[in-house]
Amino acid sequence: MAITASAVKELREITGAGMMDCKKALTECSGDMEKAGEFLRKQGVADAAKKAGRIASEGLVHSYIHGAGRIGVLIEINCETDFVARTDKFQEFINNVALHIAAANPRWLSEEEADQAALEKERNFLIEQAKESGKPEQVIDKMVEGRIKKYLKENCLLDQPYVKDPDMTIGAYLKQMISDVGENMRIRRYVRFELGEGLEKKTHDLAAEVAEMGG
């Protein structure tokens, strides 16, 4: 069934969840408002959205080192209180996200923080590639935009499938944590180092090794 904009807006006002999350919930629940609200609550989306406006200035800076110093990640994740930051659950979360970064090597935290020059370069490459197919320009435009969206999902941390549970993204994992701990949280920043990065060396798939080792 078709999901109306007014139904999406109503669910958003009730739950505080994002428009796309609300539309997905209504689609999954055949337009049933009550079931859609429950669907969002189970996913932690509604609770996470309600807490998103609260200030998160506590948290931890955490370091993760893999392979006897061959890959290192430094990451900051914020929460609302020092009490939550010191819990085992929070510390497990920040370590898991750091492990994921070591394995998946995301270029950016989110689509909003993606480097526009890099995106434009990728878009130009995809346009030239698509032109070789001989398809009409309007078809090429749709092809390129679709591939750019895929490129962003592959390279933005929050959109990447979590290496320990590929059925959910890091963004969904974060929302689940917000719901579980009852506080707003955010992944603020990170940096990833790989030994000899940028230098000529023998090929060694460190990311695959990290994912296989699971930390």
Q: What is the pLDDT of residue 16?
A: 62
Other CB atoms within 10 A of residue 172 CB: 19
Which helix (H) or strand (E) segment holds residue 188: the answer is strand 186-194
Q: What is the pLDDT of residue 165?
A: 93
Q: What is the pLDDT of residue 102?
A: 96
Q: What is the pLDDT of residue 130?
A: 77
Return averaged pLDDT per consecutive 10 residues of the chain, 215 residues in all.
83 72 87 85 65 76 92 96 93 97 96 89 85 75 86 94 93 90 91 87 60 60
Q: What is the pLDDT of residue 71?
A: 95
Which of 189, 208, 21 has the alpha carbon at shortest distance from 97?
189
List domains and CATH numbers for the chain. Answer: 5-51 (1.10.8.10), 58-110+156-213 (3.30.479.20), 115-154 (1.10.286)
Q: What is the pLDDT of residue 9?
A: 83
Q: What is the pLDDT of residue 18?
A: 67
**Terminus-to-terminus CA distance in the chain, angstroms?**
44
